[in-house]
Each structure stands twice: as C-alpha cells, then as structure tokens.
Amino acid sequence: MDQNALKKMAADRAAEFVEDGMTLGLGTGSTVHYLVEAIARRVQAEHLHIQGVSTSSRTEDQARGLGITMVGIDDVDHIDLTIDGADEIDQHFQGIKGGGAAHTLEKMVALTSAQNIWIVDQSKLVDTLGAFPLPTEVIPFGHTQVERRLAAEGLNPEWRRDDQGQLVTTHNGNYVLDLHVGKIAHPHLLAQFLDAQTGILEHGLFLDIVNKVVVGTPDGTQVLNAGR
Ligand SMILES: O=C[C@H](O)[C@H](O)[C@H](O)COP(=O)(O)O
C-alpha cells in the first residue's frame, strides 16, 4: 500500500470526528488535502453546519472551492477541533511540524483549539524526534545573525530553498531555517532555547499539544489517545 493511500485512510477516519455545529481548525499538507475532501463530502451528504479556520492559503482555497464555509482566526471566539498532519511524532506524542513551512499559523490555530488530532501515515511515528530537520521561521532582518548564532550552538542550520535555489518564504514573508539536529533527547529544552532567540518567529516543535493521533497502516487505521 503506498504512502498516499495510508494518508487518505487516516484522513477519512479523522473526518468522522467532525460534528455538526463545530468550528474546525484545518491544517496544511498532503494528508490534510485528503481530510478537506472527506469533510466536504460529509458537509454535502449530511448537510453539516460547520465553519473552518485555515492555516494556509492552500487549505483555505481548497476548502472554499469544495463549499466549506471559512472564517478568519480573529473572527472566532473558539475552535472546537483542529485536524492537521505532522512530520514526526514520538512515543510521548510530541511532534515536529513545518515541512510545508506552515508551522507558525498551524501552532496559532492548534493553541486556540480545544482539541487537536494529527493524521499521519505510519512512517511518521518515531522513537525520538529529530531525523526530520526541525523547521524554524526567521524574520528577514538579521537572518544571517540568527543563522550564525544557531550554528555556534551546533544546531546545523540550513536555509530552505526552492527548486530554483531561491529562499523559501512563508505566508508571513519570512525565511525557513531547517535545523539538522539529529536525535532530540530533550525537546522541551530545545523549544525553550529557540523560543528565547530574537529573530525566530516560531519553530516546529509542537509539544504537549495533540490529543489524538490517527495513523494509517496497511492493516487499517489506528487511533492513539495521548492522554491529555
Ligand atoms: O507545514 C506543514 C505542516 O506542518 C504539515 O502538516 C506537515 O509537514 C505534514 O505534511 P504532510 O501531510 O504533507 O506529510
């Protein structure tokens, strides 16, 4: 079974957690693409009244195009449930996100949400975080100084570039600095360090956030409860 089939399986299962009347946070990425399709099918078939809050223009455009009502994050007083993908999830349900450079908006939506579900294929489950380079979003002013500071700390920073070699920019017009840190033994300590760095708008460590993980496996979907 290919990876996309597993992503779709997880997305379809997670769409079942959507209830009539909910304000929903919608993440970003290839797995969320299947989720938005699955939610749109339910909205149409069951005449659900839901509204979505997006984490990227990609998701926003797709959801609107499929007939899902979308509202801005500053126009809602709460979000009931956010469903998003992830790049890595460890045994303690801590995660890395931002492979699509959307982690700042995703974290804002996740932290506003009463519940968070992540949808992944089984390859995203790891013992220890860090094989996936940790994304950080860096403001353009002084970005080289930020890179030097992180390099001096041994965090092996590398600017993310597109196929033409241009620096990737985020929704906010900032750059993405990926940290090749290897195994992250103490994610909270690293998060604390990165949170304190002037110039880093946000990093992709999502700690103590997710409530449930829906995993696509060749034997079917698994729903893992994080116990929070
Ligand atoms: O910035 C992107 C997001 O954090 C994605 O949710 C994450 O990269 C997973 O994406 P995908 O479902 O495409 O593997």
Residue whose Cα lies nearest atom 8 of ligand 1: it is 99
Instruction: Pick the catalytic residue from 60, 88, 106, 147.
Output: 106
CA 39 – ligand 1 centroid, Å: 18
How confident is the model over 165-219, as pLDDT tens digits?
999 999 999 999 999 999 999 999 999 999 999 999 999 999 999 999 999 999 9
pLDDT of 228 higher than 90: no
Q: Is 107 annotated as a binding residue?
A: no
With beta carbons less than 8 A apart as the criterion, state whether 56 and 107 touch: no
Atom of ligand 1 nearest to the CA of 31: 12
Atom of ligand 1 nearest to the CA of 29: 13
Atom of ligand 1 nearest to the CA of 98: 1
Q: Is 165 annotated as a binding residue?
A: no
CA 211 – ligand 1 centroid, Å: 17
Residue 106 known to be catalytic = yes
Q: Is 212 annotated as a binding residue?
A: no
CA 85 – ligand 1 centroid, Å: 5
Q: What is the per-residue burial (b if ≥16 Cβ within 10 Å, else e) of 50-84?
A: bbbbbbbebbbebbeeeebebeeeeeeeebbbbbb
pTM (whole model) above 0.95? yes
pLDDT band at 99 (very low <50, low <70, confident <90, very high): very high
Residue ranges around ligand 1 (CB below 6 Å): 27-31, 84-87, 97-103, 106
- Give the Å distances, CA to CA, from 218 to 7, 17, 118, 192: 11, 21, 18, 37
pLDDT band at 79 (very low <50, low <70, confident <90, very high): very high
Domains of the chain: 3-123+207-217 (3.40.50.1360), 134-197 (3.30.70.260)
